Structure formats: C-alpha cells, structure tokens
Structure 1
Amino acid sequence: MKLRVAFRFIAVLLVLALAACATGPRVASQADPSADFSRYRSYAFFTPLALEQHGYTTITSNRIRAAVRSQMEARGYVLDEANPDLWINLNAYMQDKTRVTTMPEVDYDYYYSYRARSYVAVPYWRDRTDVRQYTEGTLNVDVVDVRRKQLVWEGVAVGTVGRVDPARQGEKIDAAVAAIFAEYPYRAGGAAN
C-alpha cells in the first residue's frame, strides 16, 4: 500500500515538473473598445509588412503569414486583397538579453584548533552570482480597420528563442501564432468565440 502511494506521489511530481517545462510564450492582447467587429468579414496583409523591412519575403515571414492566414480563415474571415475590411500587419524582432541573479550561500572551511586539538568547521557566507545570456523574440500581430485606418486589435507573443532545426522552427511559429489568436475573441461578422 505504501509503495502504491509513493508511486502516485512520484507520478504527480513528474507531471508537475513536465508541465512547468512546457511553458510557451507570454501572450498579451488588447482591443479597441470603439471598434465594431460585426462589420469585419475580409482581410488582407498590409503592404509592405513591418516583418519584411528589406523589401522581400523570407522563409520565416512566409511561415508566419501562412499561420496567420490559417487562424483568420478558421474564424471565418476571407482573404480579399482588392477590398478588405481589415489589414493584418506583422512584425517580429529578436533581442539579446542578460539575466543576472545573485543568491547568498554558505560554505565551510576547516581549521585545526590547537586548543581543541581537532578540526573545527567555520561557516562563511558569500554571494553566488549567475549570469545567463539568452535571446528573446517578440511577434506582433496588428489588426487595422482599413476604412478608419486605425488599429482595432493587437496581439503580442514574447518568448525565449533557441536554436532549433528548421522543421521544429515552423512548429514553434505555428504555436506562437495560435497562442496569439487564442486571445482574439471575434469571428467574421462579429460573433464572439
């Protein structure tokens, strides 16, 4: 019986540890409260996208565009490059960051005491400083009312970017775009999700 309880406890701890490791990007969004989402049915990508600052598309920008297209079409919006209700603008950038943490820790030195005729442990405290360098990536999705030329919704995902193989990079892009659009509460014609 005790073995079974111990096994369940270890299994719960393992599930909690895996859940802690499986965190995705931090996502935030905001909507214009004065926007009338009931009249939006079509969209197009803004030209030129902020993501394509150098005047050409890249493999990554095409993958982000495809992920956004999939999310918009899943919500009932139609791609209409000639006369859209909404423009979608995309921007992404990376920034090198450094995280410095300092923690106090205790250690012991041993000295021989001639009076006690033995070794004595003497504690001393010091600060341990850890420096971690990483790259933080930010992906913005802006939804703009074409007629009013005004931002009506913005979604932002921020997360740590690591080196991954190209197949996994596409999966991570799709997951980040899906996380952003999980915050988008509207469907074509204005019905909330």
Structure 2
Amino acid sequence: MRHLLSITTLLLLLVITTSCSSVRVASDYDKQADFNNYKTFAFYKTGIDKAEINDIDKRRILRAIEAELTAKGFTKSEKPDLLVSIFTKSREEVNVYNNGYGPYGYGWGWRPYYWNNSTVTRNTEGVLYIDLIDASKKELVWQGQGTGYLSQNKKEERIQEFVTKILEKYPPGAKK
C-alpha cells in the first residue's frame, strides 16, 4: 500500500510539472492548398514588424522557425514559395491566496492582532501564431498556434519549445 501511495504521488508530481511547461498547439489550413508544392520560404517582414515583442525575442523566434523549416527540407530563398509571418499575444494572470488568520482563530469579530499571510503569484500566458502564406497568391494557407506559460528563465529554450511544437503540425496530415 505504501509503495502504491509513493507511485501515485510521483505520478501526480510528474503531471503537475509537465503540465506547467507544456505548450498547447492547434493548427488550421486551406484544404485546397497543395503543400507538396512548397519547397522554399522567406520571412514576411511586413507581418513580422507588427509583432508586439522585443527584437531579441523576435530574432529567437525567427531563428527557431528557420531551423525547424530547414530540418523539414525547406530552403530559404529570395523567391520563396511560402512567406512566414508571426503574431504574438500575452496576458498576465495574477493569483492572490489569502492565508491570513489572527490569534483568536477563525470566525466573526474584530481582531486587533490580525496578520495577513497572503501570497501573490504572477504568470504570463503567451500565444505565438506562425502564419505560412502562399507567396504567389498572397493568401494564408496554414496557421499554427501555440499557447503556454512564459518564463524569464531559459527563455530561448521556451521559445524553441513553442516553435517546435507548433511546426510539428506542419504539413497537415503528415505522419509523425
């Protein structure tokens, strides 16, 4: 019984730690597009310039996208088949946990020696969109979205994780 309890505790801890670091992904695409025709890419500067993130993180994202697309057999080109653009959103989540109680216990009444043991946590949830645009038609043919919590620690690794997870969905219907 004790062994079962320790395994359960370990599994619960594993689920909690992996759920905090995971990236939830989704993608959508034009069902009429023939993704076998796309072999080259370039970054769509107009779209990328509109992304509301700092230039350092922007470069990190673009380097990660370039590495992933190159690994999939794409070539960067001056005359690309696909234009790559990005868009970002974020929201801050503030949680306040009030663990306050006074020397007189819980309940009604005035407590002159009441102390407050509140804890405030802040998390930033970010969304990264990667758009693939047919360069000749100037039409969006694929969009991947990754949502997850951001961290100031190991930022480059976290960005790489977002991009890798999103681009696992490209091309649509590909076997993993």
Q: Which TM-score band (shorter chain)?
A: 0.7 to 0.9
1:58 corresponds, among 37, 55, 58, to 55
Separation (CA, whole Å) in 2 of partners of 1:154 and 1:40: 15
Q: 1:171 and 2:157 equivalent?
A: yes
Alpha carbons of structure 1 residues 185 and 13: separation in structure 2 relative to 1, 3 Å: farther
Alpha-carbon RMSD across the aligned residues, in angstroms, is 2.9
Separation (CA, whole Å) in 2 of partners of 1:37 and 1:185: 7
Separation (CA, whole Å) in 2 of partners of 1:9 and 1:45: 52
SS in 2 for 1:22: helix
Aligned to 1:45: 43
Q: 1:70 and 2:58 equivalent?
A: no
Structure whose residues are more often strand by fraction:
1
Alpha carbons of structure 1 residues 99 and 34: separation in structure 2 relative to 1, 3 Å: farther
Q: How many aligned residue pairs are there?
A: 154
Q: Deviations over 1:138-189 (max 9, x none)?
A: 111000001111111101111222332xxx1100000111111122135xxx
Alpha carbons of structure 1 residues 9 and 96: separation in structure 2 relative to 1, 3 Å: closer
Q: Deviations over 1:2-24 (max 9, x none)?
A: xxx52254134303321232121
TM-score w.r.t. structure 2 length?
Answer: 0.74
When structure 1 is superposed on structure 2, of 6-15 and 173-182 the one drifting more is 6-15
2:128 corresponds, among 126, 132, 139, to 139
Q: 1:160 and 2:142 equivalent?
A: no
Q: 1:6 and 2:2 equivalent?
A: yes
Separation (CA, whole Å) in 2 of partners of 1:176 and 1:162: 12
Counterpart AA for 2:31: P
Instruction: Trace 1:175-190 onto structure 2 (pairs within 5 A).
Output: 175-185=161-171
SS in 1 for 2:91: strand
Instruction: Structure 1: give runs of 5+ residues left out of the alignment.
Output: 102-106, 110-129
Separation (CA, whole Å) in 2 of partners of 1:43 and 1:69: 9
Aligned to 2:29: 31
Counterpart AA for 2:134: D
SS in 1 for 2:41: strand
Aligned to 2:13: 17
TM-score w.r.t. structure 1 length?
Answer: 0.68
**Contact 2:35-2:171 at 8 Å conserved across structures:** no
